[in-house]
Structures are given as C-alpha cells and as structure tokens.
Amino acid sequence: MRIRSMLAASAAIFACALLPMTAHADTAKKKIALSNNYAGNSWRQAMLTSWDKVTKEAVKAGIVASADAFTTAENQATEQAAQIQNMILQGYDAIVLNAASPTALNGAVKAACDAGITVVSFDGIVNEPCAWRIAVDFKEMGRSQVEYLSKRLPKGGNLLEVRGLAGVFVDDEISAGIHEGVKQFPQFKIVGSVHGDWAQDVAQRAVAGILPSLPEIAAVVTQGGDGYGAAQAFEAAKRPTPVIIMGNREDELQWWKKQKDASGYETMSVSIAPGVSTLAFWVAQQILDGKQVKKDLTVPFLRIDQPTLEDNLKTTQKGGVANVEYSQADAQKVIATAK
C-alpha cells in the first residue's frame, strides 16, 4: 500500500509539472476594432486591405469573434476621439489604433483603458502609458536616407525635403531624423521643405509650387507616397532629375525601374510595411489571451535597394505598396524578442 501511495504521489507531481505555468484566456468571443485616422493614400489603403485579409481568416478560424475596421472622414483628433468613445460603448475588448496625434487622443485612450479595453497603437502611436505602441524607428528611417546619399553623392549638395501629413507623429519623427542626418553629413543642405501628405498628387503640386524659387537640387528626401509625384514635378519644370528617395509604392518602383533601364538611374526606397496593422491585431489578440507584452515594440522598416528592385516589384500589387503581413507566430516572436 505504501509503495502504491508513493507511486500515486509521484504521478500527481509529474502531472502538475506538465500543466502550463500561466493560464490564458480564450479569445474566441473577443471583439477587436481598428480605429484609423486617414485613408487618403495607397499606403493606408494597403494597410486596410492587409487588416481585412488577415482578420477575416482569424474570425473564420474562431480565434476572435470580430475585427471591424473604422476610418474617420477627416484626419482630426476630435473626430477620432469620438470614434473611440463609440467603440467603448459598443463593447469592444481591444482597440487597434492608428492615431491622428500622439497626445490629443490620450483622454479617449485612457477612458478605453479604464473600461478594461486593451489599446494597441501602431504607425501613428499614442504616448498614453496604458496603451501599447508598435512602430519602426522613424527617426532612423529619416537619418538613413541622408546616410545613403552621403555614399551616392559624397560631395553633397542641396536637398529638398518632402514631408508627410502635418501634425502627425510619423511626419515629425522622420523629419527630425533627416535633419539629424544633415548634421551628421554637413555637405548637404536643406534648401526647401513642403508637405506632400504622403500622396503623389499632393506632393507633385507642392514640389511644383516651390521649385521656381529653389537652386539646383542634388537629392529629394521623402517620407513615402511622394517620390513619384516629386519626379513628375521636376519633369514638368524641365529640371534635371535629382536622386529621389522612394517610399515603396508601386508607381514609384515602376518609375524607378523605367529610369534604371533607360539610364542606370540609382536610388533607394524605404517605408514601414502597411502590414504592420496585422502585427498590431495579433499583438492585441495575444494580450487578450493573457500574454505579458512590453508596452513598446519595434519592427524594422522595409528597405529596397538597386539589386532588390525587380524582385520587390514582382510581388507588389498594381497601385499598391511593397508589403509584409504578419502571422500570430510572427507576433509571438516579436513579443518574445522585445528588449
């Protein structure tokens, strides 16, 4: 009897050792919403397409109950704050947020957190401490453009800066990085700056408007969705085409390939992948599932250089953006390796 009791006790201990250390909640009944502040360019459209594609599969697989996407009509923090308040009332368990402002939405975000809602911001992040943040190092993205130009144009020259959407965190960070790069490589000088709103048509008009007042331009530093528009403006003004940094849009890559094939034109292209929205979705799902996740997660930006242009163009949708979409396993890896 004593031996039998000892064996039973050993079996019980072994069984306990096999149990998971942390119990995780089932997310099958959880509802996640995307709050997006702007959809007026190809990057945002690709971001929404990636969200729709990946989340539909997650809903179909029974991982979450729903993953609805909402975009405000105007890029206004007040409108988006009202949208978040509506999401609180509608009983969402998590809100994935591409924010109009890093600070102006903090009150609405705090209200969501206080209601027990998980808030994960990405791309346009918020600095409310209760929220999570997923971003690339936008400042480094800007600085790396000038570093690239220092190798392409070692003698330096005048730069035209095409910025993004005024007042948005991403625009401020990339611009700060570009100016940091100019300090690091003082052979370059920024002689003009315009806002292109990350849209080719807006960028073309803005560049066309400032070009008559500018001296010779060696290169154009950009933020994405503006390189092709800038090239069109230089062509229309019959001015020499400078080195224009591209932003991974299909129209930019096509223009670049055409110039490369015709004259050996060389540049680089860099942007955050629109599919970062899918990473934010999976991070929200993992948090709802009880995982411990650091508040700040960083993902690499997607860079295309001369040797990889054709391969990236082959996999980029017509009118779209070079992209990477994330799986649940990818999110788990990002979470596990976060510093």
Other residues' Cβ atoms within 10 Å of the Cβ of residue 94: 27
DSSP state of 317: P
Mean pLDDT of 11-26: 42
Residue 56 within any structural domain of the chain: yes
CA atoms of 100 and 47, how far apart (whole Å): 15
Mean pLDDT of 31-50: 94
pLDDT band at residue 325 under the 50/70/90 scheme: very high
**Cβ proximity of 82 and 73 under 8 Å:** no
Give the residue from 271, 293, 309 where a domain finishes. 271
Single out the residue of 106, 123, 105, 132 nearest to residue 32, CA to CA: 132
**Overall residue count recorded for the chain in this entry:** 339
Asked if residue 148 and residue 112 are part of one domain, the reply reads: no
Asked if residue 234 and residue 182 are part of one domain, the reply reads: yes
Residue 278 within any structural domain of the chain: yes
Measured over the CA atoms of residue 129, residue 132, residue 136 and residue 142, the dihedral's sign is negative
Q: Per DSSP, what are the bridge partners of residue 159?
A: 190, 219
pLDDT band at residue 20 under the 50/70/90 scheme: very low
Q: What are phi and psi of 163, to 5 degrees?
A: -90, 175
Could you tell me the residue range of the domain that residue 222 belongs to? Answer: 138-271
Q: Say how many domains are in the chain.
A: 2
Residue 8 within any structural domain of the chain: no
Which amino acid does the sequence have at 168? V
Other residues' Cβ atoms within 10 Å of the Cβ of residue 16: 8
In the chain the beta strands, taken as DSSP E runs, fall at 31-36, 66-71, 94-98, 118-122, 132-135, 157-163, 188-195, 219-221, 243-244, 269-271, 296-298, 302-304
Query: pLDDT at position 75, please?
Result: 85
Instruction: Say if residue 7's pLDDT is above 60.
Output: no
**pTM of the full structure:** 0.82
CA atoms of 299 and 333, how far apart (whole Å): 11
DSSP state of 34: E
**Cβ proximity of 94 and 119 under 8 Å:** yes
Residue 38 within any structural domain of the chain: yes
Single out the residue of 74, 78, 60, 71 nearest to residue 98, CA to CA: 71
Instruction: Say if residue 194's pLDDT is above 50.
Output: yes
Instruction: Say if residue 5's pLDDT is above 90.
Output: no
Asked if residue 213 and residue 89 are part of one domain, the reply reads: no
Residue 257 within any structural domain of the chain: yes
pLDDT band at residue 109 under the 50/70/90 scheme: very high
Asked if residue 267 and residue 143 are part of one domain, the reply reads: yes
Instruction: Say if residue 132's pLDDT is above 80.
Output: yes
pLDDT band at residue 136 under the 50/70/90 scheme: confident
Asked if residue 267 and residue 199 are part of one domain, the reply reads: yes
Asked if residue 169 and residue 181 are part of one domain, the reply reads: yes
Asked if residue 235 and residue 176 are part of one domain, the reply reads: yes
Alpha helices (H) in the chain, listed in sequence order: 2-18, 42-60, 77-89, 106-114, 138-152, 169-184, 200-210, 227-236, 250-263, 276-288, 309-314, 328-337
Residue 263 within any structural domain of the chain: yes
Asked if residue 265 and residue 281 are part of one domain, the reply reads: no
The answer to which of 9-23, 133-147, 284-298 has the lowest mean pLDDT is 9-23
CATH code at 58? Answer: 3.40.50.2300
Asked if residue 155 and residue 263 are part of one domain, the reply reads: yes
Mean pLDDT of 122-142: 95
Instruction: Say if residue 6's pLDDT is above 70.
Output: no
Mean pLDDT of 173-192: 98
Instruction: Say if residue 162's pLDDT is above 50.
Output: yes
Instruction: Say if residue 67's pLDDT is above 70.
Output: yes
Residue 3 within any structural domain of the chain: no
Residue 132 within any structural domain of the chain: yes
Query: pLDDT at position 288, please?
Result: 98
CA atoms of 135 and 5, how far apart (whole Å): 56
Query: pLDDT at position 25, please?
Result: 59
Single out the residue of 172, 178, 169 nearest to residue 144, CA to CA: 178
Instruction: Say if residue 8's pLDDT is above 80.
Output: no
Mean pLDDT of 279-284: 98
Asked if residue 266 and residue 145 are part of one domain, the reply reads: yes
Instruction: Say if residue 11's pLDDT is above 50.
Output: no
Give percent of the chain with pLDDT exceeding 90.
Answer: 86
Mean pLDDT of 111-128: 97
Which amino acid does the sequence have at 42? S
Query: pLDDT at position 12, please?
Result: 38
Answer with the residue of higher pLDDT: 13 or 180: 180
**Kind of pairing between the strands at 269-271 and 302-304:** antiparallel
CA atoms of 157 and 187, how far apart (whole Å): 6
DSSP conformation letters of 184-197: HSTTEEEEEEEE-T
Q: How far is CA 288 from CA 81, 111, 316, in A?
A: 22, 18, 33
Single out the residue of 118, 114, 119 nearest to residue 99, CA to CA: 119
The answer to which of 18-22, 254-258, 266-270 has the lowest mean pLDDT is 18-22
The per-residue pLDDT of the chain, averaged, comes to 92
**Cβ proximity of 124 and 277 under 8 Å:** no
CA atoms of 255 and 180, how far apart (whole Å): 29
Asked if residue 150 and residue 67 are part of one domain, the reply reads: no
Asked if residue 283 and residue 217 are part of one domain, the reply reads: no
pLDDT tens per residue, range 290-322: 999 999 999 989 999 999 999 999 999 899 999
The tokens for 305 are 């250089």
CA atoms of 119 and 319, how far apart (whole Å): 31
